[in-house]
Amino acid sequence: MDKQKKQLYKIIVALILFFLGFFIKNETVQSVLYLAAYLLAGYDVLLKAVKNISKGKVFDENFLMAIASIGSIILSDYAEGAAVMLFYQVGEYFQSYAVNKSRKSIGDLMDICPDYANIEKDGQIIQVDPDDIEIGNEIIVKPGEKVPLDGIVLGGNSTLDTSALTGESVPREVYEGDEILSGCINLNGILRIKVTKEFDESTAAKILELIENASSEKSKAENFITVFAKYYTPIVVTCALLLAVLPPLILDEAFGSWIYRALIFLVISCPCALVISIPLGFFGGIGAASSSGVLVKGSNYLEALSKSEIMVFDKTGTLTKGVFKVEEVNNEDGVDADELIETTAYAEAFSNHPIALSVKERYGKDIDNNRVGDVKELAGFGVKAIVDEKEVLVGKYALMRENNIDASEADSIGTVLYVSKDGKFLGSLVLRDEIKEDSKEALKSLKEAGIKKTVMLTGDKKEIGEYVGKELGLDEVYTELLPIDKVNKVKELMDKKSENGKLVFVGDGLNDAPVLTMADIGIAMGGIGSDAAIEASDIVIMTDEPSKIMTGYKISKKTLSIVKENIFIALFVKIGVMALGALGLANMWEAIFADVGVAVIAILNSIRVLRYRG
């Protein structure tokens, strides 16, 4: 039987004994039942209080509950003494349940490391510990199994469930030659994989490590509550002591009623609602973000994200795909557009340059290499090839001029390829780094949500950077920047935010490490397979979708809102009932239900963020 179930059964038995006491008229039996309920519910609290006092840790919630309940029993208020301890334990059970629910949510999400890997030995498939697999070994993943290690697909094709890694429900198709990450679930075909990373360095292991360490990075609110509780409890105990002693001496009244008021003061002053609900709120926020494919390294970063004022984006791989795409086909009169694309693709047949690959992708057909001969790379200009026994030139406008070809210069933004065949100009192709589908909507949403300034930094030419900036509606664009220039520009922008405002830098995590670490919050886009991204950034977005930034931002706002609600509710109710208790206008029952009620409300409120998806 687990600890939580034992606690529940103990509370149920104690409640039965407690309520039996209400229906027994014999005072002796009634007192025995109340004391039995008290000891059953509270022996561990009393034990903790004694142990902590022996260690010098006097002022904690166990001490408060022990003093308040023992004081009630000394005053012969057995029912109230038992109720103090019993309903305190009810609150503790809710707390335990909430924490376990939060942990289970993250645990289920991050249950991505399998216990075994399949290898083939002597014609048989056997299971071994993933730790025993080395780089270069081959593993086999059957349908329904988790991929245990990162690698390359050597054989087979399948559909993968990547939701635990990316938060995306749409399955991903994989074929021979594709990269595959640990933590995915193989849905159908059998896959043979060549391992590229050892288990400790695998994607799944890195993510688990990140999540496990997230709780160690505390937010300002959590640190405040830790310090607050340290001083708050001794002050409250001192006030209760003064309340019990001074008024009777000054007003010449009986000590009994004032001691009773002091005990009420102690019960309601218990800081449990604050101490647990705030960390639980941030814990839930980190869990909600993880479920949406946004890994946050600590609650301090979640809190900081909610205060973002300036968001700075790298261009390539962040707002754009980092992949060239043929955006314009400018064929000359009398030249078919398909002929222009085909001729260019054949001239680039043997090239692996990203631009050549993009042209061949646009062509979309198999290339007959027998039609191509005598290919020459013209450094800085382009390429010359013989296609169908005719000379083809593909490259810059200067290449056309160099060969006295009458070409019309394209007035387009992007990389322009000019094409000629046997001295005749066929036209030009314009390629641009493709803007991600959701970049524009993501930036618009961030502005609407309260981000004051959006900025893009890029090493690209001015006209390309400004084109992307205009398309996306960015506030500022800085172009032709070297890595050191990006660092200096972020330093300048840091001076433009308010005292409490935060600057966020979003990059692809591959070459942005200096800027990621300099910003208040560094976010790595698509960092799921990048060790550099996980190391350098504070938040890792597991997919390549800029819209996930907005998801993380909204979750951070919701988390902070819930934390502030908990602080306000707890302090408002506690201060109010403490004042009423001191004035003799609240009894012990009201104090008990106010204390437990506030704790339960705060805990349930904190759980809400777990279901929030932005």
CATH number reported for the structural domain that contains residue 517 in this entry? 3.40.50.1000
For the chain, how many structural domains are there in total? 4
Q: Stretch 255-259: mean pLDDT, rounded? A: 89
463 with 536, same domain: the answer is: yes
Indicate if 489 and 357 belong to the same structural domain.
no
d(CA 193, CA 176): 9
Which pLDDT does position 101 carry in this prediction? 62
In DSSP notation, 46-65 reads HHHHHHHHHTT---SHHHHH
Q: Among 167-181, 471-485, 547-561, which is the least confidently predicted range?
A: 167-181
Beta bridge partners of 454: 311
Are both 102 and 233 inside the same structural domain? yes
Quick one: 88 and 23 in the same domain?
yes
Identified catalytic residue from 77, 314, 508, 595: 314
pLDDT reading at 487 higher than 90: no
Question: 200 an active-site residue?
Answer: no
CATH of the domain at 374: 3.40.1110.10
The pLDDT confidence band at residue 443, using thresholds 50, 70 and 90, is very high
Q: Which domain holds residue 397?
A: 322-435
Q: What are phi and psi of 117, to 5 degrees?
A: -130, 145
Out of 175, 194, 212, a domain closes at 212
Q: Does 528 reside within a domain?
A: yes
- 144 pLDDT exceeds 60? yes
Domain annotation covers residue 497: yes
Q: How many helices (H) and strands (E) does the chain have?
A: 20, 22
Among residues 542, 571, 600, which one ends one of the domains?
542
Q: Are residues 7 and 102 in the same domain?
A: yes
332 and 278 in a common domain: no
pLDDT of residue 105: 55
Is residue 288 in a domain? no
DSSP strands (E only) in 196-243:
none
Q: Is the pLDDT of residue 294 over 60?
A: yes
Domain boundary among 156, 181, 212: 212
Q: Evaluate if residue 106 carries a pLDDT over 60.
A: no
* Statement to judge: residues 245 and 102 lie in one domain: yes
Dihedral sign for Cα 504, 506, 507, 509, please.
positive
Same domain, 389 and 352: yes
Domain identity same for 351 and 400 = yes
What backbone torsions phi and psi does residue 180 show, to the nearest 5 degrees? -135, 140
Enumerate residues 6+ apart whose C-beta is below 8 A from 14. Answer: 37, 40, 41, 82, 86, 89
Per the prediction, the chain carries an average pLDDT of 85
Question: Could you tell me if residue 482 is inside a domain?
Answer: yes
Q: Flag whether 550 is in a domain.
A: no
Q: What is the pLDDT of residue 104?
A: 59
The reported pLDDT for the residue numbered 118 is: 93
Bridge partner list, 162: none
In a domain, 410, yes or no: yes
345 has a pLDDT exceeding 90: yes
pLDDT (average), residues 171-178 = 87
Same domain, yes or no: 506 and 369: no
Whether 131 and 197 map to the same domain: the answer is yes
Q: What tokens were used for 398?
A: 């200067």
Q: What is the pLDDT of residues 523-574, one digit of tens each?
A: 988 755 556 556 678 888 888 889 999 999 999 999 999 989 988 888 888 8
Q: Which residue has the higher pLDDT, 317 or 106?
A: 317
Say yes or no: 102 and 244 in one domain. yes
